[in-house]
Amino acid sequence: MKCSAGVAICAAVILLGSVLTLVGAAGAAYMFLGPMSGQFFDPASLPPGADVRTMRAFGIGGAVMMTMFGAVGAATGIGLIRLWRWARYATIVFGACVVLFSVLSAATILLMPMPTRPPGATGPDVPAGFRIAMAGFYGVCGLAGGWFVFFFMRAKTVAQFDGGTAGAGPRVRPLSITIIAWLMIVSGAMMLPSLAFFRLPAMFLGLVLTGGAAKAFYAVFLIAYVAIGIGLLTHTARTLMPAIILNGINMLNAVVLFVPSIWTRYDEAMAAMSPMIANQPPMLGIRYFSMGSGIVVAGVILYFLVAARWTLTVTHVDA
């Protein structure tokens, strides 16, 4: 069966975006590792307190993440053309991630104070409408991601990936659990740069971890996220409870950050990474929005996980 024009157009968009992402990753790697890196990280041209090692680590880590996303996107685009079922799931997860990222980015742009020009400095001021324009751009990206989710959840689109028969048989697992599983796998993969390149602190239920303890924390959570994500795809019923526990910990982590003393300790650990981070003014709006969004996202995931476990339990008892 051949894919429809709509699926083919979506696949072309994803392939184009993946190619651009891979090109951007190659450019970033060249900038941070190639001959230009010496000029780019010249201490004379960097702001006071800039940590070259931290900046290089963030740059390399970003290039690695872009490469990962570009490779997965290219495989997904090919999978859509071949009507592979996993590619539809991956596209839905990708669209959901774009929606979430766009909402967070738009809110951050609107809440973040605009930089002020130092006394005596020359140059044009930031246009007054820049913030609105950037928020609008992220809003358009969010709408595009939402359209991808809607399109690939339509019955006509699903039928193409089911051999032309929509709803041919009972679903092995709820679609929400499939999306959560892939989100956990992707989230685990996104921890790789933190584990390999960064020296980011970690926070576990109010305990702030740094150095080797933080790396061990990220390693454990990376393994747990990927293992539970794969488990939800392969042994759904047995993996629902570990998934509920892990996402419950995520929600508690976001809740305890509202305690001022805990956030202060985390701020101090972040500031210890680089004097440049320490010199940044506090942005309370972004802080509270990030904590609140963490609670909301974890709460939504927990709702679907608990609902799926309840459904499977009731079905088993009735059977």
Distance CA 24, CA 18 (A): 10
pLDDT tens per residue, range 208-244:
887 778 888 888 888 899 899 889 888 888 889 999 9
Residue numbers of the domain that contains 184 = 173-319
> CA torsion 214→218→223→224, rounded to 10°?
90
Is residue 124 in some structural domain? no
Which residues lie closer than 8 Å to 178 by C-beta, 6 or more apart? Answer: 89, 232, 233
Which residues lie closer than 8 Å to 208 by C-beta, 6 or more apart? Answer: 201, 202, 262, 265, 266, 269
Is residue 238 in some structural domain? yes
Asked if pLDDT for residue 317 goes beyond 50, the answer is no
Pair 187, 308 in one domain = yes
Pair 217, 319 in one domain = yes
Report the chain's terminal Cα–Cα distance, integer Å.
37
Pair 44, 91 in one domain = no
Residue type, position 196, single letter: A
Is residue 163 in some structural domain? yes
pLDDT tens per residue, range 57-94:
667 777 777 888 888 888 888 988 888 888 888 888 88
pLDDT tens per residue, range 107-150:
777 766 655 555 554 555 556 677 788 778 888 888 888 888 88
Alpha helices for the chain (secondary structure H) = 5-33, 37-40, 52-81, 85-111, 130-153, 155-161, 175-190, 192-196, 211-234, 236-256, 260-271, 275-278, 284-318
